[in-house]
């Protein structure tokens, strides 16, 4: 009986050591994979941003069209974004609520030299 107990304990110990070793190697593989994924991600290019003057001009256009009732602050506040969404929908543009290149061009607002290269 004692030999049977020792054999079972030895087998149980061997299985648990094997399981721990397997978990450690899997953790290292996951760590290496996530590091590789972080290194292979494509870097984001330059971000298109409207200038304060362009935002003021856009607010003026939105106000003339009845999509915005606020002041020309030059800030892309929630009311301006809501007006932009309405304008973009009315002009069959992609509705983003941002002053992207397509929206500025549709509003006949001049792009900066840097914006033209983006």
DSSP 77-118: -HHHHHHHHHHHHHTT----SS--HHHHHHTTPPPPHHHHH-
Q: How many CB atoms lie within 10 A of CB 63?
A: 15
| pLDDT tens, N- to C-terminus, the chain (118 residues) | 667 666 666 766 666 666 665 666 555 555 555 555 556 778 888 888 999 999 999 999 999 999 999 999 999 999 999 999 999 999 999 999 999 999 999 999 999 999 998 8
Q: Do the Cβ atoms of 109 and 87 come closer than 8 Å?
A: no
- Tokens describing residue 48: 């298109």
pTM of the model: 0.63
13-30: b or e for each residue (b if 16 or more CB lie within 10 Å)?
eeeeeeeeeeeeeeeeee
């Amino acid at each position: 009986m004692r030999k049977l107990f020792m054999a079972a304990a030895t087998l149980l110990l061997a299985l648990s050591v094997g399981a721990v070793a397997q978990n450690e190697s899997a953790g290292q593989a996951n760590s290496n994979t996530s590091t590789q994924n972080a290194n292979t991600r494509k870097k984001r290019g330059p971000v298109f941003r409207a200038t304060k003057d362009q935002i003021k001009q856009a607010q003026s256009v939105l106000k003339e069209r009845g999509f915005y009732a606020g002041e020309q602050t030059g800030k892309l506040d929630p009311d301006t974004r809501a007006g932009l969404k309405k304008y973009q929908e009315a002009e069959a543009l992609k509705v983003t609520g941002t002053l992207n290149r397509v929206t500025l061009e549709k509003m006949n607002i001049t792009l900066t030299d840097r914006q033209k290269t983006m």
